[in-house]
Amino acid sequence: MIVRTLEEARKSDRRVSAENWESVRLSLKDDQMGFSFHITTIYANTETPIHYQNHLETVYCISGEGEVETVADGKVYPIKPGTVYILDKNDKHLLRGFTDMTMACVFNPPLNGKETHDENGVYPLEAEAVAD
C-alpha cells in the first residue's frame, strides 16, 4: 500500500504551479494504478483554455465556485462543491474560477509527473496534453 498526505506532497516536487493554477500530484504513473490523481487549485478570477487531446480527465469540485464551457458547442456548466465534470470526449474547454476552486482530478492515462505548464498555464506539446 502507498500512503501520502497532501501536506507532505505540497512541499515536494509533486506540487507544480502555473499562472492560473497549482496542482499537487498525489499519485502518478509510477504508482502503476492506471490513472493519476491530483488536487488542483484553480485561482479566482481566471480563465484557462484546456484541451487534453490524449488524456481523459474527471474533475470533482471540493470547494469554490466557477464554470466550465465546452468550446465545441458553447455550453456553460456551473461548478460548485459536489459538481463533477467528465471529459469523456477529450473535450476542449474553458475553465473559469470565480473564487479559488479546489478540484480532485483523475487522469487516464496517468501523468508521469514531468508535465508542467507553459506561460499560458497549460501543458506543453511534448507532454501530449495540449491547449490552444
Q: Where on the chain is the footprint of ligand 9YT (CB under 6 A)? A: 21, 23, 25, 38, 40, 42, 50, 57, 59, 95, 103, 105
Half-sphere exposure of 49 (CA within 13 A, CB side): 9
Answer for the pair 98, 27: CB distance below 8 angstroms, yes or no. Answer: no
Rounded least distance, CB 16 to ligand 9YT, Å:
6
Rounded least distance, CB 74 to ligand 9YT, Å:
19
What single letter denotes the amino acid at residue 21? W
**Shortest-Cβ-distance residue relative to ligand 9YT:** 23
Q: Given the complex with ligand 9YT, which of 51 and 74 has the nearer CB atom?
A: 51
Residue 56's φ and ψ, nearest 5 degrees, are -95, 145
Q: Given the complex with ligand 9YT, which of 38 and 96 has the nearer CB atom?
A: 38
Rounded least distance, CB 32 to ligand 9YT, Å:
19
Q: Count of CB atoms within 10 A of residue 24's CB?
A: 21
* CA-wise closest residue to 113 among 29, 56, 12, 21: 29
Q: Which three cell numbers stand for residue 126?
A: 511534448
